[in-house]
Amino acid sequence: MKINKKYLMFGLMALFAVTIVSAGYLVNSFYFTVGVAEPFVVQYAVLGDAGDYNETEDGTCADAKAWFDSNDSSIPEGVMFPGETRKLCVKIDNAGESAIRYNVTSDITMNDNWHNCSLAFPETTISGDAVGSNITIDGLEFTVPGNAPPVTGCKVGISVTRG
């Protein structure tokens, strides 16, 4: 089949004309540089010591006075006995204007005692919404199970994720 060069040329010119018309004429444009800042500043408190956490005696998370951050040298450490309870409090200062979902998770860092440590300090998660331009305080009571084996050197990690 032989194609007439005139028809081919008209077809290509029509395609070129449609391309020029649909491309439009750029009047103006601009570019700007943006980023995403971390909206959360997180602090922690542990209520109750030398025995069980008792809301009447130890107060609620909103009453906590001794807040610390993850870089603080005053992070509470020590031992607990089976059956004892503490309350871990988390204070999230959300600098953003929108509410943002958060998760607070405890987990045991792998070590030689990982299995026994996980029996003594079961992993838990709490979730909620950090109110925009405000401070959100949440907390979770945890109890060492009565059948927990004696262990030392357990590394319990607390992580706060957003989104």
- What is the value of pTM for the model shown? 0.78
Q: How far apart are CA 152 and CA 66, in angstroms?
A: 25
Whether residue 124 is contained in a domain is answered as yes
Total of domains in the chain: 1
State mean pLDDT over 99-109: 94
Whether residue 33 is contained in a domain is answered as no
CATH number at residue 90: 2.60.40
Q: How far apart are CA 139 and CA 137, in angstroms?
A: 7
Whether residue 146 is contained in a domain is answered as yes
Whether residue 12 is contained in a domain is answered as no
Question: What's the pLDDT band for 86 if we cut at 50, 70, 90?
Answer: very high
What pLDDT, in 10s, does the model give residues 39-60? 999 999 999 876 789 999 999 9
Q: Burial level of 72, CB count in 10 A (0-12/13-18/19+)?
A: exposed
Whether residue 10 is contained in a domain is answered as no
Whether residue 5 is contained in a domain is answered as no
Q: Dmax over Cα atoms in the chain, in whole Å?
A: 98
DSSP label at residue 68: B
What pLDDT, in 10s, does the model give residues 55-67? 999 999 999 999 9
> 122 lies in which domain range?
40-162
Residue 127 and residue 101 in contact, taking contact as beta carbons nearer than 8 Å: yes
Whether residue 57 is contained in a domain is answered as yes
Q: Hey, which residues does 130 pair with through a beta bridge?
A: 100
Whether residue 133 is contained in a domain is answered as yes
What pLDDT, in 10s, does the model give residues 147-159? 999 998 888 899 9
